[in-house]
Amino acid sequence: MGASNGGSGTRLLSQSEIGSALDCQARWDFGYGGRLAGSALKAKRVAPILSEGRAWGAAAARWHTNGFGLYDACDALADSLSRDAERQREFRVYDPAGHEALRKRLTQMLTHYHSIAEQIPMDPVTERELNVPIPSRTGHRVSSRYRLLGYIDATREVDGRTWLVEFKLRGRLSTVQQISLSRQIRWYAWAYERETGIPIAGVETVERWNEVPKLPRLVKTGRKDGALRPSHATDQLCTADDYLASCAKYDEEPHDDVLAALRERRWQQRVPIVLRRGEMDEVGRELVSAGRLIAQLDSGLLYPMRNAKPQNCNGCSFRDICAAPDPELVDALYERIPAKRDREETPA
């Protein structure tokens, strides 16, 4: 059950809400504030990237959990997609063919992940909820109103110390610097420490490239009979083993440079980030600032400004209504829900 905002006066803050307010105040308002459209909005159709990410995180965490295997991970993946499908059925926007295509593609990706990744045992805390008060404005006590809500994928012990583990599905793998600058991993580590009393040594981010290995390319030999041979392009998205098998099938000599390129391709990565003790104090100060920003937006003291930067707008789920929230279009695309400050329950 979600925590109450209205009856108890509690106001939950999430990493996604804070990030939305920092990226674009209008996007925050459409999802949480409700002033620009007359209510807060929730898309009737689950964005594929969100559905993919949730399903992948659930499946990867299950596979790494002690005592589980690939079939269990496939079940977790299917269960996650099914929950998204239920919402889409409710609003009659469910696409059975699209759902099955997504399930099949993610299952293929999971099978490939299973074949090349090291299965590191982790504690079964998949999607554990964290719900802790942020510091008060003075920093001497905790806030009686604002709490940070988050979810962690897994934990594991390394040399007697606890690490958080986050699973991510990416259009491209992040650089180590990008991961090291992430505020989310620090906020979740901070919240875990305060909820459990267990110090966190660091956060390990496990990223998977959102691609499925493809079959080796075939090209025409130029002969009159239209015979084919394996391509020796280094940019093809197949595995080295499949390339070798294709060369053997067509009696073609494999190229060393192609093999080297295919073997060096990174489909996934594990990046551990060690956290310093002083960083946890900084997180507390950041969350105080975040609470102040949300409070000003909630109260109307700040009017939500639209941010027309392409890097913010291209992937925004409110892009089609942002300039002029036409009520008919809004009602066709979104479910109207209370502003977050007025909700009796805050959904996960």
Average pLDDT over residues 285-296: 94
Which segment of 28-42, 80-94, 108-122, 204-218 scores lowest on mean pLDDT? 80-94
Domain ranges of the chain: 11-121+299-342, 128-210+269-286, 218-266
Average pLDDT over residues 140-155: 89
Which segment of 3-17, 62-76, 147-161, 164-178 scores lowest on mean pLDDT? 3-17
Lateral strand order in the sheet of 128-135: 11-14, 142-152, 128-135
Lookup: tokens for 94? 């469910």
Q: How confident is the model at residue 91 (pLDDT cuts 50, 70, 90)?
A: confident
154 φ/ψ sector (left φ>0, alpha ψ -120 to 50, else beta) = beta
29-69 pLDDT per residue, tens: 999 999 999 999 998 887 777 889 999 999 998 999 877 88
Residue 222 vs residue 138, higher pLDDT: 222
> What per-residue confidence (pLDDT) applies to 74?
95
pLDDT(198) > 60? yes
> What per-residue confidence (pLDDT) applies to 34?
95
> What per-residue confidence (pLDDT) applies to 122?
82
> What per-residue confidence (pLDDT) applies to 20?
93
What's the CATH code, domain 128-210+269-286?
A: 3.90.320.10
Contact status, residue 213 vs residue 286, Cβ threshold 8 Å: no
Residue 178 vs residue 122, higher pLDDT: 178
Average pLDDT over residues 307-316: 81
Q: How confident is the model at residue 1 (pLDDT cuts 50, 70, 90)?
A: very low
> What per-residue confidence (pLDDT) applies to 7?
41
256-270 pLDDT per residue, tens: 999 999 999 999 999
Contact status, residue 152 vs residue 123, Cβ threshold 8 Å: no
Amino acid at 6: G
pLDDT(25) > 50? yes
Average pLDDT over residues 3-31: 83
pLDDT(135) > 60? yes
DSSP state of 141: S
| Number of other residues whose CB lies within 10 A of the CB of residue 346 | 20
> What per-residue confidence (pLDDT) applies to 344?
61
Contacts of 185 (CB under 8 A, 6+ apart): 164, 166, 179, 203, 205, 273
Residue 194 vs residue 94, higher pLDDT: 194
pLDDT(223) > 80? no
Average pLDDT over residues 18-35: 95
| Number of other residues whose CB lies within 10 A of the CB of residue 98 | 14
pLDDT(337) > 90? yes
The alpha carbon of residue 86 and the mean position of all alpha carbons in its chain are separated, in whole angstroms, by 20
Which phi and psi angles does 38 have, rounded to 5°? 90, -10
